Amino acid sequence: MNIILLGAPGAGKGTQAEYIVAKYNVPHISTGDIFRKNIKEQTPVGLKAKSFIDQGKLVPDEVVIELIQSRLSEDDCKNGYLLDGFPRTIAQAEALDKITKIEKVVNIDVDLTKLLKRIVGRRVCVACGASYNIETYDKPDCAKCPSQLIQRPDDKEETVRARLEVYQNQTAPLIEYYRAKGVLKSVDGMQTISEVCSRVEKVLEQA
């Protein structure tokens, strides 16, 4: 199955993505993760993307589209995949329509006014990428491996404000775009993680 996970920054896409890829055995394609890896390794793509990401802006469409086009042509995508963080603009969605057929778009619907606090409290493991929130886990080290937790540089308050604005202006219109195509499924993302998870499972089972 070819699936897109839609939702504002901090809506919990990454968390839900882990469950979906385990259940459906498809690759998890997160453009944010791909960019962070490229930045760490100082590749040309990473160098291009870094200044945009640090300012809470979107990486230019042509850079992201090229990246996704090459990723989707890899062998492991033959039997489906989960896109997380792509598309983020109408232009990206139109480009995607030219390369593949999307079967389900799951929109994790959240209260935008609650997101700032959620994201600013997020901590991630430098080694395994596991994600926590200081509200429920306020320790310096990861519970899954013996590594340090840090705040992502783009999770600082000023940058988060910019990201939320970008979401409203550029990404939220994708909800209508996919609704019009009849592939959109919305779930309430303001419930507990396991509750959201079972709702996501339910909409993925629906025809």
Site residues for ligand ADP per CB under 6 A: 9-10, 13, 31-32, 35, 52-53, 56-59, 64, 85-88, 92, 154, 163
SS (H, E, C) the chain: CEEEEEECCCCCHHHHHHHHHHHHCCCEEEHHHHHHHHHHCCCHHHHHHHHHHHCCCCCCHHHHHHHHHHHHCCHHHCCCEEEECCCCCHHHHHHHHHHCCCCEEEEEECCHHHHHHHHHCEEEECCCCCEEECCCCCCCECCCCCCEEECCHHHCHHHHHHHHHHHHHHHCHHHHHHHHCCCEEEEECCCCHHHHHHHHHHHHHCC
Least distance (Å) between residue 15 CB and Zn ion: 15
Contact 184, 105 (CB under 8 A): yes
Candidate list 36, 118, 123, 163, residue with the active-site label? 163
Residue 8 touches Zn ion, criterion: CB under 5 A: no
Residue 183 touches Zn ion, criterion: CB under 5 A: no
Least distance (Å) between residue 127 CB and ligand ADP: 17
Of 3-11, 115-123, 137-145, 190-198: span binding Zn ion (CB under 5 A)? 137-145
Cβ contacts of 51 within 8 Å, gap of 6 or more: none
User: Among ligand ADP, Zn ion, none, what binds residue 52 when CB lies within 5 to 8 Å by partner kind?
Assistant: ligand ADP
Comparison of 97 and 141: residue with beta carbon closer to Zn ion: 141
Candidate list 48, 152, 156, 179, residue with the active-site label? 152
User: Among ligand ADP, Zn ion, none, what binds residue 31 when CB lies within 5 to 8 Å by partner kind?
Assistant: ligand ADP
Least distance (Å) between residue 139 CB and ligand ADP: 21
Comparison of 146 and 182: residue with beta carbon closer to Zn ion: 146
122 is annotated as an active-site residue: yes
179 is annotated as an active-site residue: no
118 is annotated as an active-site residue: no
CA distances from 109 to 66, 84, 130 (A): 28, 15, 22
User: Among ligand ADP, Zn ion, none, what binds residue 144 when CB lies within 5 to 8 Å by partner kind?
Assistant: Zn ion
Contact positions vs Zn ion (CB under 5 A): 125, 127-128, 130, 142, 144-145, 147
Residues marked active site are found at 13, 88, 122, 152, 163
